[in-house]
């Protein structure tokens, strides 16, 4: 650009600026405002007047709040369009694109969080919380959806065991496991198909395993929690009230091995037995102590050894052993004070798991033990009838195996159960119940052959045709 062209452009810009100032002064004069007049330069071809943009009012501060000054009313929409032309849609399109992008980012973030939570669950970080939440949901569901009440038909083939659980009972047959609530609503049913099934239960979980086989499964009150195939045949198993599970199996290098699983079914403890063959396992309520009864052969004769394991101690102080020569342990039970009750064929003894010391003993004499049950610190012993004209006896022992009460019965006993306040006996045609002082509180005839009895929230009798609630004498 030449110098004269630059000079001409500069003069034109100055003329346009002077013309704009003159137009503004003329407008103020028409509105009655004072101004200083200046001679406007004469231009042959002035530029068209640009519309004046309204000034934005600034907020007036008052304390912590801002109040905006009142401005002149806005021009009508048609007039504004006439001045500025058609309104552009570009800002609106930009806002729509930005919002869509933000929504996509939020969805991607939620998907990533869900994926991370899924992998953490697979890793076991949230498993305990999820299992606890599942138990709470089961408890709520049982409370909010009651059943129609007892009795209900009993159609479980080969029924052999009934055990109370939280809010109901679990019944196991030759091919099926069925769970009922305390109001007779069926909670869960599963086909196990084991050749030699056995059942052990905690407070809210049930383990069914194939004794002599390699399969086991753990069920909650609403679903299957775990199925597992062991490497070697299962000998016995036990579940603590809290859900810890101990499984004894055969072994390749040893006679047997015992594996303890936590609530998430992670292996937390191993015990290998090179000289003894375990056939009874019992876990304490907390799952921190374990008692094992092993069979051993010494000098051509069979004997038993009682082994105590502290699952929280170091390896050097984990096991305490007690030899039990000349007897056969039949049942084990950790009492409420932590002592172990051992039911043998000729006596019942109380042992201290920390030292293996025998604290108390009750001998049967010439009586033949038929069955036993436990609750808290009490032990129920039921002795068989010696002859057709002789009554059987039932004995309740306290925390130091002292006799609390004794009753007799005159029918063929099928099962017995002990609760917190009463104990019950069932025969083929009748079921009876007594309180802890020996006073009879239940006497009920059965319409079909009696098989099993259990004490949960209420006493239940199982016959070949139905499951019914035992009615106290005061309500009959």
Judge whether 378 lies within some domain: yes
CATH classification at residue 468: 2.130.10.10
Judge whether 456 lies within some domain: yes
Q: Domain span at residue 380?
A: 367-476
Judge whether 190 lies within some domain: no
Average pLDDT over residues 331-348: 96
More confident of the two residues 115 and 468: 468
Judge whether 427 lies within some domain: yes
Judge whether 72 lies within some domain: no
pLDDT (0 to 100) of residue 251: 93
Q: How would you class 159 by CB atoms within 10 Å of its CB: exposed for 0-12, middle for 13-18, buried for 19 or more?
A: buried
- How far, in Å, are 197, 203, 208, 211 from residue 259 at the CA level? 19, 20, 16, 15
Query: Is residue 291 scored above 90 in pLDDT?
Result: yes
pLDDT (0 to 100) of residue 126: 54
pLDDT (0 to 100) of residue 134: 78
Q: How would you class 312 by CB atoms within 10 Å of its CB: exposed for 0-12, middle for 13-18, buried for 19 or more?
A: exposed
Query: How sure is the predictor about 40, in pLDDT bands with cuts at 50, 70 and 90?
Result: very low
Using one digit for the tens of pLDDT, what is the confidence trace for 143-169? 899 999 999 999 999 999 999 999 999
Query: How sure is the predictor about 378, in pLDDT bands with cuts at 50, 70 and 90?
Result: very high
Query: Is residue 81 scored above 50 in pLDDT?
Result: no
Query: Is residue 29 scored above 90 in pLDDT?
Result: no
Distance CA(165)–CA(170), nearest Å, equals: 7
Using one digit for the tens of pLDDT, what is the confidence trace for 381-422? 999 987 666 789 999 999 999 999 999 999 999 999 999 999
Judge whether 469 lies within some domain: yes
Token pair listed for 161: 């065991």
Q: How would you class 472 by CB atoms within 10 Å of its CB: exposed for 0-12, middle for 13-18, buried for 19 or more?
A: middle
Q: Is the Cβ–Cβ distance between 342 and 351 less than 8 Å?
A: yes
Judge whether 374 lies within some domain: yes
> Which run of H or E residues covers position 187?
strand 186-191
Judge whether 409 lies within some domain: yes
Count of domains forming the chain: 1
Q: Is the Cβ–Cβ distance between 244 and 238 less than 8 Å?
A: no
pLDDT (0 to 100) of residue 415: 97
pLDDT (0 to 100) of residue 38: 46
């Amino acid at each position: 650009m030449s110098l004269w062209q630059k000079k001409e452009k500069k003069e034109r810009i100055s003329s346009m600026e002077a013309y704009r100032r003159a137009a503004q002064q003329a407008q103020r004069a028409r509105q009655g405002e004072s101004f200083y007049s200046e001679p406007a330069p004469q231009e042959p071809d002035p530029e068209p007047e640009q519309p004046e943009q309204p000034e934005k009012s600034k907020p007036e501060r008052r304390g912590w709040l801002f109040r905006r000054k009142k401005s002149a009313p806005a021009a009508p929409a048609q007039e504004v369009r006439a001045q500025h032309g058609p309104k552009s849609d570009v800002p609106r399109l930009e806002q729509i694109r930005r919002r869509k992008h933000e929504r996509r980012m939020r969805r991607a973030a939620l998907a990533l969080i869900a994926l991370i939570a899924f992998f953490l669950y697979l890793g076991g970080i949230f498993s305990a919380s999820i299992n606890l939440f599942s138990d709470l949901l089961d408890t709520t569901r049982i409370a909010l959806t009651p059943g129609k009440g007892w009795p209900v038909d009993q159609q479980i083939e080969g029924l052999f065991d009934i055990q109370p659980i939280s809010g109901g009972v679990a019944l196991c047959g030759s091919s099926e496991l069925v769970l009922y609530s305390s109001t007779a609503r069926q909670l869960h049913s599963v086909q196990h198909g084991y050749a030699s099934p056995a059942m052990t239960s905690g407070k809210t979980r049930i383990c069914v395993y194939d004794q002599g086989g390699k399969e086991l499964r753990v069920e909650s009150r609403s679903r299957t929690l775990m199925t597992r195939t062991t490497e070697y045949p299962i000998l016995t198993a036990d579940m603590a009230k809290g859900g810890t599970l101990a499984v004894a199996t055969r072994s390749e290098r040893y006679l047997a091995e015992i594996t303890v699983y936590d609530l998430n079914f992670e292996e937390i403890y191993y015990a290998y037995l090179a000289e003894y063959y375990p056939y009874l396992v019992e876990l304490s309520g907390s799952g921190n102590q374990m008692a094992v009864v092993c069979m051993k052969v010494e000098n051509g004769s069979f004997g038993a050894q009682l082994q105590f394991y502290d699952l929280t101690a170091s390896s050097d102080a984990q096991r305490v052993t007690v030899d039990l020569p000349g007897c056969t342990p039949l049942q084990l039970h950790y009492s409420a004070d932590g002592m172990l009750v051992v039911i043998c064929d000729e006596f019942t003894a109380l042992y201290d798991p920390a030292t293996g010391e025998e604290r108390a003993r009750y001998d049967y004499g010439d009586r033949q033990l038929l069955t036993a049950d436990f609750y808290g610190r009490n032990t129920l012993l039921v002795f068989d009838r010696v002859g057709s004209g002789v009554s059987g006896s039932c004995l309740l022992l306290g925390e130091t195996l002292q006799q609390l009460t004794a009753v007799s019965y005159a029918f063929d006993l099928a099962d017995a159960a002990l609760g917190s306040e009463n104990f019950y006996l069932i025969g083929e045609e009748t079921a009876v119940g007594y309180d802890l002082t020996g006073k009879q509180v239940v006497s009920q005839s059965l319409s079909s052959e009696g098989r099993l009895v259990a004490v949960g929230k209420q006493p239940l009798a199982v016959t070949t045709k139905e499951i019914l609630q035992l009615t106290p004498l005061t309500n009959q």
